[in-house]
Structure 1
Amino acid sequence: MSIFDYKVKTASGLTTSLEKYKGNVLLIVNTATKCGFTPQLTDLQKLQERYGERGFQIVAFPSNQFAEQEPLKDGEITEFCALNHGVNFPIFKKIDVRDDNAHPLYTYLTSQKPFEGFNMDHPVSKLLMSILKERHPHYLLGDSIKWNFTKFLINREGNVVNRFESTTEPFEMEPYIETLL
């Protein structure tokens, strides 16, 4: 099994298969427009522009599971990301990425790459850990998605190669992306 076996819905509600990305290096990221990590969208777009012609593709899945930081509707999310961050990579329909209603793609992703901790050198790591411990301690259990902007790097064969948490900035992933291209 690989990520190419999964079907997802576009922002307009059409069902599509991730198989259309077969042969590309993918970065799958759960996003939110009202999150402290939302500015990562700008640098993610820069990565898309830098490596897109070499077979790199970012795909985003908005989620409202973390402090309700994605209040917009699907079309509004796409518009916000384009207008405020220049995003032109695909943004799919809003989904759950953890707990009982998690999309099967995210259940698969987290089963392939466990949570290994946050980058504690990131300026907001301590704040994020404090929020999680205080308000959402169950989020810290197991390998589920902990917060917005968790990123999974997928090789051309559809295998999950790396997992990067919210506290990993997009440009920190460049060496890993270049290795797969």
Structure 2
Amino acid sequence: MFTAPSPSTHDAFSHIYRDHHGWLLNWLWRKLGCRSGAADLAQDTFTRVLTADAAGGLREPRAYLSRVANNLLVNHWRHLGLEREYLAALASQPELLAPSPEEQAMMMETLYRIDAMLQRLSDKARQVFLMAQLEGLPYADIGSRLSISERMVKKYMAQAMFECALALPADAA
């Protein structure tokens, strides 16, 4: 739930927005090469700053804004890559097997959720999860490959399964 910022936070945010929005928009435009995409990401950046209630204590607003915007940009590019790979896989299927536009949208949303879940995992937990799920390796083999105990494999799998549960849509739980 979103709560309204305090008056001092609102003033600090307004000041940062007014002083740095144009700069951020141009910075994103140079990175993306697309004015409308840059505008969307700039808006998302300032929304994150506002909801994080971070505007009041910023000494280096441009550094903070560029970090938040860069993280959003990386996610944007990752989503584009997922879409390209999905569309390429879809194009290789016979037309009769092609999913409807609604099914395609649902699959893309699922891919985004899986990608976000994998990004929240540590490198080891991600490796363990992928080895177990994609390669079907037993925990002992995963432990041997990664030079970790079977107990740690179980711990990493528990972390991954917890993230999977968090990634489920609310109506699926």
Q: Normalising by structure 2, what TM-score?
A: 0.26
Greater RCO (CA < 8 Å, at least 6 residues apart) = 1
Q: Normalising by structure 1, what TM-score?
A: 0.25
Bigger radius of gyration, 1 or 2? Answer: 2
